[in-house]
Chains A and B, each alone.
Chain A
Amino acid sequence: MEKSYIIKQISIFSENRPGRLAAVAGALKEAGINIFAFSIAEADGFGVVRALVDRPEDAHRRLTDLGFRVSFTDVIGVKMRDEPGGLSEIAGVLGDAAINIEYAYAYSGRDAAVLILRVDQVEDAIRKILGSGGELLKASTFH
């Protein structure tokens, strides 16, 4: 049952130079793939573009054909209460359970702000968040 909350994020290796994000976004646009959320993580001269899309398999195939290095990453989406303490609550639950957040990014969903989390123990995290009364987005919300 935890599995239904695991969302497939696509991660794309990209050099940190002008035009690379445009190339990724352009390819997805041409394939009619919708991007719900994305973030860019940057290191020394290169980065990883992370995106939640409606058709991850298609996006993976499309970008791979274009020569990009793409992989899937399991993430979860937490619905945030749009009021002070929303983040603190979620972070506290995970921290107490010794679950590490590797990275996070947020986007504004249809009815609430959504925090996308990459954690080291994804199924534990789902149990803890649901157990503490938190609300998670089902993978089927996206794809």
Chain B
Amino acid sequence: MRGHLTTRDVQSDMFWNTAMETISAADLEALQIKRLKWTLHQTQNVALYRSKLKEAGVAPGDIKTLEDAAKLPFTTKKELQAGYPFGLLAVPLRQIVRIHTTSGTTGKPTVVGYTRGDLESWSELIARNLVMVGLSDEDVFQNAVNYGLFTGGLGFHYGAEKVGMTVVPSATGNTQRQIEMIEDFGVTAIHCTPSYAMHLAEVAESTGAELATLKTGIFGAEPWSESMRSELEGRLGVTAFDSYGLSEMYGPGVAFECPERDGLHIWHDSYLVEIIDPATGEVLGPGERGELVITPLVKEAMPLLRYRTGDITMLMEEDCPCGRGRKIARITGRSDDMLVIRGINVFPSQIEHVLLGLPEVGEQFMVYIDRVKHLDEMTIEVEMSRAGFSGELQDLARIQKHVAGALHNALGLRTTVKLVEPGSLPRFEGKARRIVDRRGAL
């Protein structure tokens, strides 16, 4: 099963594994089917999947094409939690060489086991990502994330070593010392969370550290916006790349931006990707936003079937000039936040995205949903921005119309837009509660 993932080709710049990264559509499909069948076989070592398949009336032998994957049942985070600690492992513990866990913020953590082959595959994917953004054995790489059970530390560490980079396992904390390391070791690339990068920039600015050698920033584990990207790039002097992953799929490295920085390449030889309507489970086509569902194709210790990531994205329609496979859009939210308004799926992040593009209003908002005469009505309050006010009432009405029009375009839904005074909407620290759904209260 392994082998093909682990060898580095003699290749051009910016590719770690040219053959796999630029595989033809026909070859990829054949490979995915072969690996899907292998994965199905592997899941039969796990009681949960045996009973799930039985319940769905599907036998592993029924899956002959990629389209057949839609017959397979979804796996949810709840099911993984219920299997705590080792109920989801498909191999005996003696073949498990490492475990990581998820943070467990929503109940019991999920334990993820890795065979030696899994660690090899994971490092391979990280190596592809790092080389894709232009890094090589010439680079000094500071890995400023947690090195414990969190997958970000060790995952990137081994991938970067595989590339031959000089790895500085700085982990987290002591920002002053982190800055010294960057300057003293001539660090060229850093991996951390976007919020920590922001903190690092602030401390560096306050101490006058120039971080002159730093050129690449890899940011992940938290959602971050395009405006944060330009701020981080300006303040740290880096080109910033988005990194996506989840512990259930090894950890970071599942999908990554290439230098185009327009969507993330997801490694189709290792992950079978579907986008579904989170409400109905129906599979959606390219360009349609929904929940990312992944069936890993090379995971040995903990295979998964159609795992519902809860992350909202879409398959992008255009090919990437870099020559790698189909991209997914940057993650724009969680399916748990999704609203269904008059039958249309709406994500608060879509609203945020629209407002960010309109200078005449601020980016804070509140959404109220009411049922008026059996119809859902959505009212969005937005703040006037400093730039937006000319003093004329008709200009305000124009702004209101413009915002409603932009929202209509993005959501496919008519909304009522209310302009409110700057600073009057609630600010949230941590998880925002911007949605007030009053449809239930009769």
Contacts and interface: CB of A to CB of B under 8 A. Distances in A.
Interface of A: 9, 11, 13-15, 20, 41, 43-48, 50, 67-73, 102-103
Contact of A13 (B389, B394, B418): B389
B422 A44 contact: no
A69 B422 contact: yes
Please indicate which of the listed interface residues A9, A43, A69, A72 has the most CB atoms of chain B within 10 Å of its own CB.
A69
A46 B396 contact: yes
Contacts of A9: 391
Contact of A43 (B384, B388, B393, B424): B393
B421 A48 contact: no
Nearest to A9: B391
B424 A69 contact: no
B391 A71 contact: yes
A22 B138 CA distance: 66
Contacts of A45: 418-419
Nearest to A11: B391
Contacts of A73: 391-392
A15 B421 contact: yes
B420 interface: yes
A65 to B, nearest CB: 12
B400 interface: yes
A67 B418 contact: no
A43 B394 CA distance: 9
A112 B412 CA distance: 55
A70 B387 CA distance: 10
Interface residues of B, number: 19
B393 A72 contact: no
B415 to A, nearest CB: 13
A15 B422 CA distance: 10
Given A13-B384, A69-B384, A69-B388, A48 B419 contact: no
B321 to A, nearest CB: 43
Contacts, number: 57
A49 to B, nearest CB: 10
A26 to B, nearest CB: 15
A67 B422 contact: yes
B391 A48 contact: yes
A44 B397 CA distance: 8
A66 to B, nearest CB: 9
B390 interface: yes
B408 to A, nearest CB: 17
B396 A13 contact: yes
B386 interface: yes
A27 B384 CA distance: 20
B390 A68 contact: no
A50 B423 CA distance: 21
A69 B389 contact: yes
Contacts of B418: 44-46
Given A71-B389, A73-B391, A43 B423 contact: no
Nearest to A44: B400
Interface string B397-423: 100100000000000000000111111
B282 to A, nearest CB: 38
Contact of A67 (B389, B390, B423): B423
Contacts of B421: 13-15, 20, 67-69
Nearest to A74: B391
Contacts of B397: 43-44
Interface string B204-226: 00000000000000000000000
A111 to B, nearest CB: 29
B388 A48 contact: no
Contact of B393 (A20, A48, A68, A70): A48
21 contacts: A11-B389, A14-B421, A15-B420, A15-B421, A20-B421, A43-B393, A43-B396, A43-B397, A44-B400, A44-B418, A45-B418, A46-B418, A46-B420, A48-B391, A48-B392, A69-B421, A70-B389, A71-B390, A71-B391, A72-B391, A103-B393
